[in-house]
Structure 1
Amino acid sequence: MRLLLTLLLFGITGGYAQQNSEVYFTTGFKIGEVTDSSAVLLTRLCKSPEPVAVYHEQQDKVFHPPKDFDDSMPISKMEGAVAGSAGQVQIRLISKDTTITTDWEDVSAYKDFTFKRSFNGLDPHTQYTVQIKGRKHKEAPVATIQGKFTTAPLANEAVPLLFTASTCQYYWSHDDPKRGFKIYDSMLRLNPLFHCQTGDYVYYDKPGPMATTVELARHKWHAMNSWPSLADFYRNTPAYLQKDDHDLLKDDANPYSTSFGDLSYEDGLAIWREQVPIIDQPYRTFRWGKDLQIWNVEVREFRSDNKSPDGKEKTIWGEEQIAWFKQTLEASDATFKILVSPTPVVGPDRSKGKFDNHSNESFATEGKWLRAYLAKQNVFVINGDRHWQYVSVDPKTGLREFSQGPVSSYHAQGWDPKDKRPEHKFLRVDGGFLAVKVYREKTEAVIEFIHYDVEGNVVNTEVIKEKV
């Protein structure tokens, strides 16, 4: 009996060793940057099969922050906590014609136990099953997770498609106590070919905890990704992710921002690159067949100081990104062109205390140029960052902008729903998402911008047609 107690105390019984050798995919995996021939996959090995469950009560006010949350408690005790595990990962992509299998590769604490891999030479317009395996070591039990994605069609193929877009999600604004956020299950029922997440994926500067260290910032990603609705959605829907201020550092973050506690701007950049399936430049463009091309722009890394005087030198995009955007946009022959921006271009935005985006007076010079240029090039804008849904038409240029709204009704705020202005074709201060459909009817190409509420009910539709 004494020997058995000793073995149990030091954790060297056979059963304990078996349990201690397991790994899990508790935070799921993401498929990113899909083109007609490539994709990037990202996953993370975890120690436990479930995150720490919610036990704090939410406050009954905007955002529903937790009551009496203690930032000084161990991260392992915080809701959504999922510790990482060292181990090995193998990825397999399977189509009807081919199978691509990677070697087993190590993951460690150096990159928060994440594993990122780019795949090239894929077939266009082809569905791939994704199988990811993980293990602690060669002799340990193997964990498996599975999903799927479809590569983009070639640029000369007119293929019908549907994609979704969302923004602004805070862990404590969850509206489903078991699944996390209702919109992810609502979007998954539409079976989108891809998803655009336009930033504020997490909120470092909101309580529960305040992410004032690298460890706390990483925890915010673990907690968000461990919600079942997100894990199910992203393993079946490739995504193009963009960052905004709250998942970089703090409100209105830019390269001139001071640290948030011990978390620096440089820390925020490094964590972003570690936690999302992106390898190259943060600004990029993707072609989805003959009728659609999208541009994902970067609005934090290259901007001027928000509070500097406006003028022709003041910029959000930066000289290099603007040159790239003009060159790629003017070279495109896609029927429909969409700019996906983490921040508004048209607005209108609140006038008081806002100096962060192209619809604000603080960036009026670049904003005026950008709206005129986009309208001339017949571009539509999908924007994040605003906590209400709208369709706006710029009165001077005719540029159309579509704001998705936040991921839950708890997060909706910032605009008076009675303040519907002439530029608003649609206004709704509530949670939801946007879906975009592209298809052909005889001699016309059609694009539909459809706003949904969190339950998946249509609340507005805008239809535009082009002769082809």
Structure 2
Amino acid sequence: MKRFLFLLTITFLLVSCKSVPTVESGPQVPGDFTIAFGSCNKHTLRNRLWDDVLAARPDVWIWGGDIVYADTPDTARIAAMYTAQKEVPGYSSILKEIPVIGTWDDHDYGLNDGGVEFESKKGSQQVFLDFLGVGDDDTRRAREGVYASHDYPQPEGKVKVLVLDTRYFRTALTPSVEKGRRYQPGTYGEGTILGEAQWEWLKEELNNSDADFNVIVSSIQVLSAQHGFETWGNFPHEVDRLGKVIANSGARGVIILSGDRHISEFSRIEREDLDYPLVDFTSSGLTHVYTAYSGEPNPYRVGEVVSERSFGLLRFDLEGKRVHFQIVGDEGKVLGELTQQY
């Protein structure tokens, strides 16, 4: 009997330890507010990261795009995929424990690499907002585009999250003439990513922000521009405009979050008109990644590219004006990290 009880106790301890994953890390700044985010998620594939997201205890989960892979103008089919995603056991736990916000990218928008030309974008917008649980009286129900602002006041300070829509208004991309690259930068000054209405909204939000940190969510990368796929760099004048809007606003602690690429990395640039570096934290993907990745140029890269399934984590030290960035994999393994003072 004693042997049976001993074995039962050992079994219980082993099971208990396995069911409560922890996020490992190196030296870490205190966290007054925590963001977790990710992109590139197929609801038909197993996502091994949801328990790790829960273990990190974020204050908000942010979708960075490609929540489902619909690639169809049939909005009923897109809605059905969103419903299936909400029923995924790990994600259903997220919905019960953590507020969820976010944006879309091309595959959940409905058209691979799609933009302004997509015929079903109005209907797709409504089922996307349904998935996020956006109320009927929300301004996004009546206007074009899914961009939105979210404020998170804390006793120690405030974090503002500005979610962009890089699909609804984006004009045509320029096909690349170079083998192995899909797109190349277009003519400077021609075309747009955000459209004028969204640009004016972003400018106003940053100009009037009293937040200690302003987090801009873009479904595609902003700083990394030489890989030949979708990036803000395909519209170089839009990159310049974004930098000027940020600098002229005087907004504090602006950070960019991005996805899409099926790899994760940190990019950082020093600008003369900003008194802090501008970081673009790319986190992608959640269920599938670029396993054949062998390298690509990015002059702004800090650290190494991660081509394992992962999500992004940001811990804000609001009093110390620091952010600890982490790329987190299965079982809480930290695959990359960066601490930035602001």
| Coarse TM-score class (shorter-chain normalised) | 0.7 to 0.9
Q: Do the aligned partners of 1:163 and 1:435 also contact (CA within 8 Å) in 2?
A: yes
2:121 is matched by which residue type in structure 1?
Y
> Is 2:300 aligned against 1:300?
no
Question: Residue 196 of structure 1 aligns with which residue?
Answer: 62
1:188 is matched by which residue type in structure 2?
L
Shift of residue 416, structure 1, vs aligned partner: 3.0
Inter-partner Cα distance in structure 2 for 1:201 and 1:274:
13
1:232 is matched by which residue type in structure 2?
S
> Is 2:151 aligned against 1:287?
yes
Inter-partner Cα distance in structure 1 for 2:112 and 2:244:
28
Shift of residue 392, structure 1, vs aligned partner: 0.8
Q: Do the aligned partners of 1:432 and 1:453 also contact (CA within 8 Å) in 2?
A: yes
Inter-partner Cα distance in structure 2 for 1:344 and 1:223:
28
Inter-partner Cα distance in structure 1 for 2:80 and 2:158:
40
> Larger RCO: Structure 1 or Structure 2 (Cα < 8 Å, ≥ 6 residues apart)?
2
Identify unmatched segments of 5+ residues in structure 1. Answer: 1-158, 175-180, 206-210
2:113 is matched by which residue type in structure 1?
D
Q: Do the aligned partners of 1:374 and 1:399 also contact (CA within 8 Å) in 2?
A: no
**CA pair 347-372 structure 1, distance change in 2 beyond 3 A:** farther
SS at match of 1:247: helix
Question: Residue 224 of structure 1 aligns with which residue?
Answer: 85
Match of 2:191 among 289, 314, 336: 314
Inter-partner Cα distance in structure 2 for 1:364 and 1:460:
28
Question: Residue 385 of structure 1 aligns with which residue?
Answer: 260
Q: Do the aligned partners of 2:73 and 2:111 also contact (CA within 8 Å) in 1?
A: no
**Correspondence list, 1:223-372, <5 A:** 223-257=84-118, 264-278=120-134, 279-281=138-140, 282-289=146-153, 290-307=157-174, 310-348=187-225, 350-351=227-228, 354=229, 356-360=230-234, 363-372=235-244
Inter-partner Cα distance in structure 2 for 1:243 and 1:375:
26
2:337 is matched by which residue type in structure 1?
T
Shift of residue 349, structure 1, vs aligned partner: 5.0
What is the TM-score of this pair, normalised by structure 1?
0.56
**CA pair 414-380 structure 1, distance change in 2 beyond 3 A:** farther
Inter-partner Cα distance in structure 2 for 1:201 and 1:302:
20
1:459 is matched by which residue type in structure 2?
L
> Is 2:74 aligned against 1:213?
yes
Inter-partner Cα distance in structure 1 for 2:117 and 2:169:
11
Deviation by residue 1:27-81 (Cα, 9 ceiling, x = unmatched): xxxxxxxxxxxxxxxxxxxxxxxxxxxxxxxxxxxxxxxxxxxxxxxxxxxxxxx
Inter-partner Cα distance in structure 1 for 2:173 and 2:297:
28
Shift of residue 167, structure 1, vs aligned partner: 0.6
Inter-partner Cα distance in structure 2 for 1:346 and 1:422:
9
1:458 is matched by which residue type in structure 2?
V
SS at match of 1:437: strand
**CA pair 300-421 structure 1, distance change in 2 beyond 3 A:** closer
SS at match of 1:222: helix
Deviation by residue 1:267-294 (Cα, 9 ceiling, x = unmatched): 3233223332223232222222224222
Question: Residue 455 of structure 1 aligns with which residue?
Answer: 331
Shift of residue 251, structure 1, vs aligned partner: 0.5
**CA pair 330-267 structure 1, distance change in 2 beyond 3 A:** closer
Question: Residue 134 of structure 1 aligns with which residue?
Answer: none
**CA pair 430-311 structure 1, distance change in 2 beyond 3 A:** same
**CA pair 271-438 structure 1, distance change in 2 beyond 3 A:** same
Deviation by residue 1:115-173 (Cα, 9 ceiling, x = unmatched): xxxxxxxxxxxxxxxxxxxxxxxxxxxxxxxxxxxxxxxxxxxx911120111101233
> Is 2:305 aligned against 1:431?
no
Shift of residue 402, structure 1, vs aligned partner: 0.3
Q: Do the aligned partners of 1:244 and 1:299 also contact (CA within 8 Å) in 2?
A: yes
Question: Residue 399 of structure 1 aligns with which residue?
Answer: 278
RMSD: 2.6
SS at match of 1:390: strand
**Correspondence list, 1:77-96, <5 A:** none
Identify unmatched segments of 5+ residues in structure 2. Answer: 1-30, 141-145, 176-185
SS at match of 2:332: coil
* Greater helix proportion: 2
Deviation by residue 1:88-128 (Cα, 9 ceiling, x = unmatched): xxxxxxxxxxxxxxxxxxxxxxxxxxxxxxxxxxxxxxxxx
Shift of residue 212, structure 1, vs aligned partner: 5.9
Inter-partner Cα distance in structure 2 for 1:239 and 1:167:
13
**Correspondence list, 1:65-76, <5 A:** none
After superposing the two structures, state which structure 1 stretch, 421-430 or 232-241, moved more. 421-430
Inter-partner Cα distance in structure 1 for 2:213 and 2:295:
32
1:428 is matched by which residue type in structure 2?
V
Inter-partner Cα distance in structure 1 for 2:226 and 2:139:
32
2:255 is matched by which residue type in structure 1?
F
Q: Do the aligned partners of 1:162 and 1:192 also contact (CA within 8 Å) in 2?
A: yes
